[in-house]
Amino acid sequence: MLAVKTPEEVLRLIEKEFKPLGRAETVPLAEAPGRVLAEPIRAQEYVPDFDRSTVDGYACRAADTFGCSDAIPAILNLAGQVLMGEGADFALSRDSCVYVPTGGAIPRGADCAVMIEYTEDYGDGTVGILKPGAPGMNLIFRGDDVFPGKEILPAGRVLTAQDLGALAAIGKTSVTAARRVKVGVISTGDELVPPDETPGPGQVRDVNAPLLTAMLRDFGAEAVSYGIVADDEQLLRQKMQAAARDCDAVILSGGSSVGVKDAACRIIESMGELLLHGIAIKPGKPTILGKAGNKPLIGLPGHPVAACFVAQLFVLPLLGRLMGRKQEDFAVPAELTESLGANHGREQITACHLLREGGKLLASPIRSKSGLITQLAGADGYFIIARDCEGLPKGAQVQVFLY
Amino acid sequence: MLAVKTPEEVLRLIEKEFKPLGRAETVPLAEAPGRVLAEPIRAQEYVPDFDRSTVDGYACRAADTFGCSDAIPAILNLAGQVLMGEGADFALSRDSCVYVPTGGAIPRGADCAVMIEYTEDYGDGTVGILKPGAPGMNLIFRGDDVFPGKEILPAGRVLTAQDLGALAAIGKTSVTAARRVKVGVISTGDELVPPDETPGPGQVRDVNAPLLTAMLRDFGAEAVSYGIVADDEQLLRQKMQAAARDCDAVILSGGSSVGVKDAACRIIESMGELLLHGIAIKPGKPTILGKAGNKPLIGLPGHPVAACFVAQLFVLPLLGRLMGRKQEDFAVPAELTESLGANHGREQITACHLLREGGKLLASPIRSKSGLITQLAGADGYFIIARDCEGLPKGAQVQVFLY
């Protein structure tokens, strides 16, 4: 019999027992947001590729403007203008300037750009500069932003829309991303009917399959449905084996009765190795984890709220490990709206609503007697009360992880 | 000439000038995460639909167990067992009990369930109860979770995976969601080439179109590409008109030169009304907003970092307004890793990396001279320095909005 493990022990176990799959594929840029980079991205060119002005104005030599002022402008010869989208492949002679738009190229010899507001075009081929420039002023030089070989994004990064902009800028039209892990989802329980059926006496709808499927997809994994299996060890074994054959990981949820948990343990042991039986959290204790080769076989609690928390805290990190994902979740601090007991010797996870009141962010814990809908629907996130904490007073700060 | 507006004024202007489109469509549950609910969802049934046990054990009348203990168990007649997935349509007589699994139905007359750990099956048709029950103990009653008419989720909610679980539980297989707003995206600039082309002298790749497209899709809007238009008022007018005809909103980005900005203003005025010319933020000041009917016509700065911030702070809220979206963004507090100047009379927006060090969350501002890639790639989020603030010291707390 395996001992119940703390959350930290479970996360260490996951790290130790499972290796990244190392399978990558090429993904067009437009489909890349949310995907996990399989390798670092390095620039292969200079950005910008030419020295550019960051203002509308006149490119010139700063030294030619030193000491000028509104009263005594520096008079420079206007040597023409640079057009947007064209190069400036000429040298600027001394005491000359050239008009450049924002983003325009500047000619050789120029080392600053003076904003048009501080100049006066006399219309006779000369321009007055009313404010002295300084070398580098209002310019961005070739490679200032990136240069060949510079790492733009690390492997394991989950790509954002902003990253995509940067990739477009360096001409990346596709990226090498980790393949989505394929996760078989099995629900078990004689009492379960699919969500589109009306439950008969003693029956309930299968909530875990749609819930887990949505969570997996959100996370960038692929969910494969294996439907609802009756509480029958033989049938369950067949389904688990079929799912393990076709998928990278298998999640079995339900089987709240002791007999089914035992059956799931026996099945996992027969398929490979049982690694974990029980996590010291509430809700979520009756969780099992095993592996067949590098394939995780996960048994989640039947209660959807417990299944949801365990999936969030352990299954997603495990799938992230398989995909080489390196991304931290950040929490938002909020004040508890009411005191909350917690004296379990296990970490307690509580869903909450977030409210704003007088500039403060408040977390209103959702209490309900095993109520699943009220615990899930409309919640903004969840917070964790430490194992050794006997409860939190009203006004205590909690760290809320957002859904 | 319109005056430059503060961010708060811009948000109020958006609220005042644009109304929700009120267009909804039916979306299957599996495709609903991230969609905006067009109407509140109310339960139409009881969940659970029957009184259930929350433990494995014996359902009985609490009164029959009062005063029992390990030493003096209450002896009850075992009247059978309830099977998972079947009803319990019978009445329990006094001094009797029935075995129920977790989630199983309980018979009429029973008012508590005693955990199996506190019972002993004598094998002779009687069961000893070693710990007294109390009415309601370990039970969840019909409708405890929800009942017909109870609002489960409000209109405007952006659906989460957790919401989906709740909806599956009440048999919702589809929802009425706001139609995705269709946004035409136009890039303008003689210097722009598509990201898959190699820029010639003085040219740069169009970053804004892929960046904005990804941001719009992330947000649940539909982006329609109208390509790159040269800095030509006539061409630009035709493109803007075509986009306004086919889309719910038009975003024009680029045109960093004063002439193009003026042209964009003239075009918007000729198509409807110019509402805004300039926002007091840095970067992002040269932003314009107008409308043709209820259709927003938006001119974003050409610099991708500025375009990104303005899109985040104003365009997404505007599109959210059109879709009836009601969702707050929450920020994560972090300590600045270095002091940062800000003396602009405008709100300053700075992208940052988040780092964890000794239990503290640190925000490392990304400084760079108009560098677009370094400002976008790998950033975790951004924070805002107030208009009247002259700068922040190292260690100051900032509120980081995550990408």
pLDDT (tens digit per residue) in A52-91: 998 999 999 999 999 999 999 999 999 999 998 888 999 9
Contact of B76 with B58, CB cutoff 8 Å: yes
Mean pLDDT of B273-299: 95
**A261 confidence band (pLDDT: 50, 70, 90):** confident
Q: Which residues of chain A does B371 touch, with a Cβ-Cβ cutoff of 8 Å?
A: 140, 144-146
Assess whether pLDDT exceeds 60 at residue B359: yes
The DSSP code sequence of A62-73 is GGGGTT--SSSP
pLDDT in tens, B302-349: 889 999 999 999 999 999 999 999 988 999 999 999 999 886 789 999
- Distance between A196 CA and the closest CA of chain B, angstroms: 6
**B358 confidence band (pLDDT: 50, 70, 90):** confident
Q: Which of A:18-37 have CB within 8 Å of B? A: 29-30, 33
pLDDT of residue B202: 86
Predicted TM-score (pTM) of the model is 0.92
Q: Which two tokens stand for residue B350?
A: 């700075």
The residue type at B202? G
Q: Which of B:238-257 have CB within 8 Å of A? A: 256-257
Query: What is the Cα–Cα distance from B23 to B35, expressed in whole angstroms?
Result: 13
A1 CB within 8 Å of a chain B CB: no
Dihedral pair phi/psi, residue A373, rounded to 5°: -70, -50
**Residue (of B283, B57, B29, B305) closest to B176 by Cα position:** B29
Q: CA angle, B283 as apex, A359 and B249 as ends, to 5°?
A: 85
Contact of A82 with A88, CB cutoff 8 Å: yes
pLDDT of residue B373: 79
Query: What is the Cα–Cα distance from B74 to B67, expressed in whole angstroms?
Result: 8
Dihedral pair phi/psi, residue B264, rounded to 5°: -60, -40
**A134 confidence band (pLDDT: 50, 70, 90):** very high
DSSP category for residue A293: T
Mean pLDDT of B137-157: 93
Q: Which of A:200-219 have CB within 8 Å of B? A: 200-211, 213-215, 217-218
* Domains of chain B, earliest start first: 7-23+180-323 (3.40.980.10), 24-43+149-178 (3.90.105.10), 52-140 (2.170.190.11), 331-402 (2.40.340.10)
Query: What is the Cα–Cα distance from B11 to B19, expressed in whole angstroms?
Result: 13
Facing A84 at nearest CB: one of B163, B231, B332? B231
Chains A and B form CB pairs within 8 A to the count of 298
Q: Which residues of chain A does B361 touch, with a Cβ-Cβ cutoff of 8 Å?
A: 330
pLDDT of residue B345: 85
Assess whether pLDDT exceeds 70 at residue B257: no
First-to-last CA distance in chain A?
34
Cross-chain Cβ contact B211/A162 below 8 Å = yes
Q: Which two tokens stand for residue A318?
A: 């495990």
Cross-chain Cβ contact B161/A331 below 8 Å = no
ipTM of the complex: 0.91
